[in-house]
């Protein structure tokens, strides 16, 4: 497959004059996609169970930073079982190999983490493959061309979970969902209080870490807090 030529991102914006020429597509309601804290211990399994039992969660991403794959695999085993028992997709961050080793439902790839085409080859046609696209229309279209199952845009709000270089605006979600069927994920500093414009703009998933795991009343309360903005209240 040929790569898309590099295009000026601004040139890809949808002219509002033509927006009504696109048929509104049916899209399922926006769902929660939990991202793990960057560091966990064996006690995290209990927190994950509490979070997943508190309300609908579509996916859980294991995103551990600064430890080797063997340790991640040991920590992951009970978490895979917890997700599987609840039909929550278990997604591994960064590593196609680790996703395969764990029998994960998919992998999330940043721009430096590998090619979705390789992920597809190694993980198979059922795997859920996501790609970080920052605030770039070009990267998102490229990811779609390469077979991504979802594209992730962000960061929408300031976050302490990751040092970010790109800031995305809700209009990007509106453009993407008007033109493409591939689901889009919004990420970065999302809380129950600031998420409404992202849902209104068309986000298919809200990827959330600290607002759930750092909720003052615990992760179950963190998940429940999103019910209103996700129309589940
Ligand atoms: C759903 C989702 N979106 C974006 C990211 C960020 O991925 P990446 O840019 O590779 O950064 P790290 O998470 O690896 O620090 C993500 N993990 N998940
Ligand atoms: C992994 C990642 N990628 C962009 S922002 C971010 C952090 C998401 O965590 P939080 O919901 O705590 O901001
Ligand atoms: Mg990464």
Residues 64, 94: Cα–Cα separation, whole Å = 9
- Write down the number of H helices and E strands in the chain: 10, 8
Residue of 28, 23, 36 whose CA lies nearest to 184: 28
Is residue 34, in this structure, part of any structural domain at all? Answer: yes
Is residue 58, in this structure, part of any structural domain at all? Answer: yes
Q: Residue 71 annotated as binding? A: no
Q: Residue 163 annotated as binding? A: no
In which domain, by residue range, is 43 found? Answer: 27-225
Is residue 5, in this structure, part of any structural domain at all? Answer: no
Site residues for ligand 2, CB cut-off 6 Å = 35, 154-155, 159, 161-162, 164, 187-190, 208-211
Partners of 89 in the β-ladder: 59
Look up the ipTM and state it: 0.99
Residues 59, 136: Cα–Cα separation, whole Å = 24
Could you tell me the distance, in angstroms and rounded to a whole number, from the CA of residue 19 to the centre of ligand 1? 30
Number of the ligand closest to the Cα of 66: 1
pLDDT in tens, the chain (233 residues): 456 666 666 666 656 565 566 565 689 999 999 999 999 999 999 999 999 999 999 999 999 999 999 999 999 999 999 999 999 999 999 999 999 999 999 999 999 999 999 999 999 999 999 999 999 999 999 999 999 999 999 999 999 999 999 999 999 999 999 999 999 999 999 999 999 999 999 999 999 999 999 999 999 999 999 999 999 97
Is there a contact between 91 and 64 (Cβ–Cβ < 8 Å)?
A: no
Task: Provide the 3-class DSSP secondary structure of residue 206.
Answer: strand
Site residues for ligand 1, CB cut-off 6 Å = 35, 61, 63, 93-94, 108, 110, 113, 130, 132, 152, 162, 185, 187, 207
Q: Residue 61 annotated as binding? A: yes
Partners of 184 in the β-ladder: 151
Give the position of tokens 């999330």.
Answer: 108
* H helix runs in 137-194, sequence order: 137-145, 170-179
Is residue 104, in this structure, part of any structural domain at all? Answer: yes
Is residue 38, in this structure, part of any structural domain at all? Answer: yes
Is residue 88, in this structure, part of any structural domain at all? Answer: yes
Residue nearest to atom 10 of ligand 1 (CA): 110
Number of domains in the chain: 1
Here the CATH number for the domain that contains residue 95 is 3.20.20.70
Is residue 125, in this structure, part of any structural domain at all? Answer: yes
Predicted TM-score of the model (pTM)? 0.93
Is residue 230, in this structure, part of any structural domain at all? Answer: no
Is there a contact between 44 and 71 (Cβ–Cβ < 8 Å)?
A: no
Q: Residue 2 annotated as binding? A: no
Report the residue among 60, 66, 93, 98 best suited for mutation to probe ligand 1: largest number of ligand atoms under 8 A from its CB: 93
């Amino acid at each position: 497959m040929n790569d898309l030529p590099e295009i000026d991102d601004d040139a890809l914006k949808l002219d509002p004059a033509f927006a009504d020429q696109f048929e509104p597509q049916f899209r399922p309601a926006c769902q929660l996609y939990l991202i793990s804290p960057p560091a966990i211990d064996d006690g995290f399994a209990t927190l994950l169970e509490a979070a997943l039992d508190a309300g609908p969660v579509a996916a859980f991403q294991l995103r551990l930073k600064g430890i080797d794959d063997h340790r991640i695999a040991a920590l992951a085993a009970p978490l895979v079982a917890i997700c599987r028992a609840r039909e929550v997709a278990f997604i591994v961050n960064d590593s196609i190999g680790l996703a395969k080793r764990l029998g994960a439902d998919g992998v999330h790839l940043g721009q430096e983490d590998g090619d979705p085409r390789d992920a597809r080859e190694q993980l198979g046609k059922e795997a859920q493959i996501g790609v970080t696209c920052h605030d770039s229309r070009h990267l998102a279209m490229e990811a779609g061309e390469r077979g991504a199952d979802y594209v992730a845009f962000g960061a929408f709000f300031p976050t302490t979970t990751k040092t970010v270089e790109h800031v995305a605006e809700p209009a990007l979600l509106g453009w993407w969902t008007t033109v493409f069927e591939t689901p889009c994920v919004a990420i970065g500093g999302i809380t129950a209080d600031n998420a409404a414009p992202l849902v209104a703009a068309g986000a298919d998933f809200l990827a959330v870490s600290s607002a759930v795991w750092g909720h003052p009343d615990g992760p179950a309360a963190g998940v429940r807090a999103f019910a209103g903005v996700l129309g589940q209240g």
